[in-house]
Amino acid sequence: MNPMPLPKRYVILISGRGSNMDALLDAGLPGECVGVVSNRPEAAGLAIAAARGIATHALDHRAFASREAFDAALADLLEGLQPNLILLAGFMRILTEGFVLRFEGRLLNIHPSLLPSFTGVHTHARALAAGVRLHGCSVHFVTPALDGGPIVAQAAIAVAHDDDEARLAARVLAEEHQLYPRVARWFLEGRLRLDGERVVLDGEKPVPGALHAPRAD
């Protein structure tokens, strides 16, 4: 008789409130969240996770002499938790190459733009300034290049003529809360993997047609 396979283990990294963390925990993912880790002990998301019965860990990056020293400590902490998947959910740290390579293929991040456009911060203001008609969010595997890893999935919204930064950000965030749990589920179900620089998703279906924005007909 074959033993039942152990559930996949995942860890969520945050720096603040952790609304994407909440969305992931609400999604009933096919795995066990074995920890929420923040580089800021004051992050509100730590208390929220603890109230949900999730183990939390604060590792203050300001207490370390270098980025490399912090990343080494974070890597050791994560290795102790033995995650199959590490989900960056508003984790506002640029990770060193050594850290990324140590967990290659197990690191996912959500970014509030349609990558490769608007890497980094202030994405919504920059999208409005550029006059783009479509904006959105992207989930990608993490590589040493900032926001430059292979893209798994994206969600796009049309930019309205009267959008300001706050309204646009809120609408993109709502899409993030739908997209990120979907991608995490694919990974934990064993359907999603990174093959070199190529994303492989078993059962992927083609999407017919195209989105045109704006429309005036």
Give the rounded distance of the alpha carbon of 172 from its chain centre: 14
Q: Alpha-carbon dihedral of residues 187, 192, 194, 195, nearest 10 degrees?
A: 150
Give the distance from CA 48 to its chain's centroid: 18
| Predicted confidence (pLDDT) at residue 4 exceeds the cutoff of 60 | no
| Candidate list 57, 111, 124, 135, residue with the active-site label | 111
Residue 1 has pLDDT above 70, yes or no: no
End-to-end CA distance of the chain: 63
Give the pLDDT of residue 151. Answer: 98
Query: Is 120 a member of any domain?
Result: yes
40 lies in a domain? yes
Is residue 38 assigned to a domain? Answer: yes
111 catalytically annotated: yes
Provide the pLDDT for residue 211.
85
Identify the CATH number of the domain in which residue 85 sits: 3.40.50.170
**Coil, strand or helix: which one is 148?**
coil
Per-residue pLDDT band at 81 (split at 50, 70, 90): very high
H helix or E strand, kind and range, residue 32: strand 31-38
- Which residues lie below 8 Å from residue 207, measured CB to CB, with a gap of 6+? none
Q: Is residue 2 part of a domain?
A: no
In a domain, 149, yes or no: yes
CB 145 within 8 Å of CB 96 = no
pLDDT at 2: 56
Beta carbons of 77 and 57 less than 8 angstroms apart: yes
The answer to whether residue 205 is domain-embedded is no
Report if residue 167 sits inside a domain.
yes
How would residue 214 be classed by pLDDT, with cut points 50, 70 and 90?
confident
* Residue 93 DSSP SS3: coil
Q: Which domain range does residue 70 map to?
A: 8-200
The secondary structure element, H or E, covering residue 74 is helix 67-81
Which pLDDT tens digit goes with each residue over 40-66?
A: 999 999 999 999 999 999 999 999 999
pLDDT for residue 3:
58
Which of 75-112 are b and which e, b meaning 16 or more Cβ less than 10 Å from the residue's Cβ?
beebeeeebbbbbbbbbebebbeebbebbeebbbbbbb
Q: For the chain, give the mean pLDDT.
A: 95
Render pLDDT for 113-166 as a digit per residue (tens, 0 to 9).
Answer: 999 999 999 999 999 999 999 999 999 999 999 999 999 999 999 999 999 999
What is the pTM for the complete model shown? Answer: 0.95
Q: What CA–CA distances, in Å, run from 5 to 31, 50, 109?
A: 11, 27, 26
Residue 187, SS3 per DSSP = helix
* Sign of CA pseudo-dihedral 215, 167, 109, 186: negative
1 within a domain of the structure (yes/no): no
Domains: count for the chain? 1
